[in-house]
Structure 1
Amino acid sequence: MNKKLVALAATCMASLPCVANAADVQLYGLIDTTIRFSTNENAAGDNKVQMTDGALTGSRWGLRGTEDLGGNLKAWYILESGFAPDTGTSLQGGRLFGRMSVLGLDGDFGKVAFGRQFTLAHEMIGSYDAMGIPNNGIVGYQAAYTGVRYDNTVKYIKSFGGLQLAAAYTFGEVPGSFSTNNAAGGSVAYSSGPFEVGAVYQVSHNVSSAYFGLPSSQASKQTVWAAGGKYKVGRGQYFLGYTNNRLDVADYRNDSAYVGAKYELAPSLVLIGQFYYDWLKHAGTGGKRLTTAAMLDYNFSKRTDAYIEVDYTNLKGGWIALNSMPTFTNSGNTFGNSTRLGVMLGLRHKF
């Protein structure tokens, strides 16, 4: 009997590291589903009613965890998969972990991350957008300027009090050429109390289908820089930003200014508003874009909320042709029409 107890105790002790490691793994995600009405959803100008993904956030599930390596050093990872809540299909081209696939180290030296991850331009521009570059493609069109996510990327972040510096490099992985398909960027942000400002600069080479559906013959160097800030006072938080985007061979130049706000009407009710104005220059022609959106979000709890969102876009000149390209920002395509009005009713749950 004693031998059996000893054997059982030894088995339990041997299993403890496995239990501890398992405890470091966290399953998380969110499901954000909406019913959307929108105008001008084909070349004939017909309206459309559909069930679709969230207004602000894309649905996803993921795994993340850390391991303490001692000496104030930790290993960490994030594996995150996007999916369409209305059909259950995988997004990001059907990738298993298309949203993020990152392994990193965090210590006194800063934080370093390796893998598929958001670009510095996307993170910085989203920080000064009241809607965080929304998931709704017609409003979140600036995602096309940022590259959103890059594969094969190493990113480094270091904070010095309220100052944060970051750098990122994406390997092109083309034999015989170090620069083909690569990208590099840097950002700086400073925060003090309720106030924050920041800026980013990013260069990507041989950009084609990833940007506005350009053919390979127009593969271009894309240069993006942006600056912005946000300020929190009382129940409100206010946002201001500017993005400068350039493509050399394809000859696109965009200047975008945006302003927004979040205001807590009640402890469980938040109003969000965002306004974008974009100037386009392409092949000797110009175009202008006005996009605005407002959202009223009611929180039933910390995990579940419901919202109504309204957005309106008006295009002029070259922006009509650009926004009608078959691959332009997916759901943001206006099919040759100059306007779109949309209304969304959504329900979101985090787990």
Structure 2
Amino acid sequence: MPTKLAASAACILTTLPCFANATEVQLYGLVDTSIRFSTNENASGNSKVQMTDGALTGSRWGLRGTENLGGNVKAWLILESGFAPDAGTSLQGGRLFGRTSVVGLDGDFGKLAVGRQYTLAHEIIGSYDAMGIPNNSIVGYQAAYSGLRYDNTIKYIKSFGGLQVAAAYTFGETPGKISTNNAAGGSIAYSSGPFELGAVYQVTHNVSSTFFGLPATQASKQTVWAAGGTYKIGRAQYYLGYTNNRLDVADYKNDAAYAGVKYQFTDSLTLIGQFYHDWLEHAGSGGKRLTTAAMLDYNFSKRTDAYVEVDYTNLKGGWIALNGMPAFSNSGNTFGNSTRLGMMVGLRHKF
């Protein structure tokens, strides 16, 4: 058996260079693991110490491939799999390529992508969040508004100098009902020197338990629009954004304003700070959410860094009930408690 395995491995290795030369396939990824302490991790208000995924980035491995088709056109693909570094288990519901599974074309006409991919709302909101809608779920709660990733999606992007426009459509794939479970969105961004501005509008039909813990009877049309910008001066980059989220049948209305900064003390040491204020209206009552986080990141090299992070969340009114829904775990469920304090120490390596 060992002889057969060695022969098979040798055969595979000898064929890989030919394949890679033709399509320029690259294996990549990162492992980001942290130790986290947090309060109010159950209904009794107990604290918890755990090993978990990264503060900003989720651990993943993937494959990128490109092929030059001539005429300044290339085909490309990205297959990306997420995993929990503490246990080695697959994330995204156990999907093999649950983070991204996309193929596309890129040329003078623009960029076309088809498959499972990030939504336009996620890309725009994350661009004007200093932490990029972080992996730490209680800070990155706006993933619930953006939809994060959609299956069965076609996306088109075109740049005109500093101006970039994009459109996306998600197929609902419901027989006889084109609009059921589908989504559509458009975005625009403009950059010039130290400034960047952008906005997005996205509509998704039949949103239910995926993020908001809604029963099928309250499946809703979600309408979200967001706008924001960044400004870089010296060693600092400032971020400012606003998100407007609406669910019609379930009657949720959220207005979120957020601001942040990245400050590079040295080439190796960076401070990131982010602040969110969210106003909720639901069933005739209101609620408020204040979430803030700060992170100090030290780069040993281009591939390896270590960090410390602290975050605090305070909920009032209807936000306590919403954040306590079992299916709303994306927000870092607080189990009916009004506050959470968290601290993380992490190590990340990219390959």
Q: What TM-score, normalized to structure 1? A: 0.94
Structure 1 unmatched runs, 5+: 1-13
Aligned counterparts, 1:312-331, within 5 A: 312-330=312-330
Q: Which residue of 1 aligns with 2:85?
A: 85
Shift of 1:266: 1.4
Cα distance in 2 for residues equivalent to 1:289 and 1:261? 20
After alignment, is 206-215 or 302-311 more displaced?
206-215
Cα distance in 2 for residues equivalent to 1:134 and 1:148? 12
Shift of 1:330: 3.7
Q: Which residue of 2 aligns with 1:204?
A: 204
Aligned counterparts, 1:234-253, within 5 A: 234-253=234-253
Q: Which residue of 2 aligns with 1:258?
A: 258
Q: Which residue of 1 aligns with 2:35?
A: 35
Matched, 1:338 2:338: yes
Aligned length: 337
- Equivalent pair of 2:40/2:335 in contact (CA under 8 Å): yes
3-state SS of the aligned residue for 2:22? helix
Aligned counterparts, 1:63-142, within 5 A: 63-142=63-142
Amino acid at match of 2:148: V
Amino acid at match of 1:136: N
3-state SS of the aligned residue for 1:266? coil
- Equivalent pair of 1:190/1:196 in contact (CA under 8 Å): yes
Cα distance in 2 for residues equivalent to 1:211 and 1:31? 25
Cα distance in 2 for residues equivalent to 1:18 and 1:153? 28
Larger radius of gyration: 1
Q: Which residue of 1 aligns with 2:25?
A: 25
Amino acid at match of 1:170: T
- Equivalent pair of 1:225/1:243 in contact (CA under 8 Å): yes
- Equivalent pair of 2:298/2:307 in contact (CA under 8 Å): yes
Q: In 2 relative to 1, CA 257–16 (structure 1 residues): closer, same or farther, beyond 3 Å?
A: closer
Amino acid at match of 2:289: R
Cα distance in 1 for residues equivalent to 2:155 and 2:142? 22
Root-mean-square deviation (CA, aligned residues, Å) is 1.2
Amino acid at match of 2:224: V
Shift of 1:214: 0.8
Q: In 2 relative to 1, CA 19–92 (structure 1 residues): closer, same or farther, beyond 3 Å?
A: closer
Q: In 2 relative to 1, CA 320–234 (structure 1 residues): closer, same or farther, beyond 3 Å?
A: same
Cα distance in 2 for residues equivalent to 1:84 and 1:17? 33
3-state SS of the aligned residue for 1:145? helix
Shift of 1:188: 0.1
Shift of 1:331: 6.4
Shift of 1:17: 5.0
3-state SS of the aligned residue for 2:179? coil
Matched, 1:272 2:272: yes
Shift of 1:327: 1.5
- Equivalent pair of 1:270/1:298 in contact (CA under 8 Å): yes
Deviations for 1:40-61, whole angstroms, at most 9, x for unmatched residues? 0000000000000000000000
Aligned counterparts, 1:160-179, within 5 A: 160-179=160-179
Amino acid at match of 1:198: G
Matched, 1:311 2:350: no
3-state SS of the aligned residue for 1:210? helix
Cα distance in 2 for residues equivalent to 1:33 and 1:18? 33
Cα distance in 2 for residues equivalent to 1:126 and 1:113? 19
Cα distance in 1 for residues equivalent to 2:309 and 2:21? 43
Cα distance in 1 for residues equivalent to 2:122 and 2:203? 13
- Equivalent pair of 2:323/2:331 in contact (CA under 8 Å): no
Deviations for 1:214-250, whole angstroms, at most 9, x for unmatched residues? 1100000000000000011000000000000000000
Cα distance in 2 for residues equivalent to 1:227 and 1:218? 28
Q: In 2 relative to 1, CA 235–192 (structure 1 residues): closer, same or farther, beyond 3 Å?
A: same
- Equivalent pair of 1:141/1:329 in contact (CA under 8 Å): no
Amino acid at match of 1:239: Y
- Equivalent pair of 2:211/2:330 in contact (CA under 8 Å): no
Cα distance in 2 for residues equivalent to 1:69 and 1:283? 55
- Equivalent pair of 2:141/2:331 in contact (CA under 8 Å): no
Matched, 1:145 2:117: no
Runs (4+) of structure 1 exceeding 6 A deviation are: none
Shift of 1:16: 8.0
Cα distance in 1 for residues equivalent to 2:288 and 2:16? 63
Aligned counterparts, 1:178-193, within 5 A: 178-193=178-193
Deviations for 1:313-345, whole angstroms, at most 9, x for unmatched residues? 000000000000002134600000000000000
Cα distance in 2 for residues equivalent to 1:163 and 1:93? 36
- Equivalent pair of 1:165/1:189 in contact (CA under 8 Å): yes
- Equivalent pair of 1:53/1:84 in contact (CA under 8 Å): yes
Cα distance in 2 for residues equivalent to 1:331 and 1:172? 26
3-state SS of the aligned residue for 2:211? coil
Cα distance in 2 for residues equivalent to 1:15 and 1:171? 35
Amino acid at match of 1:20: N
- Equivalent pair of 1:138/1:333 in contact (CA under 8 Å): yes
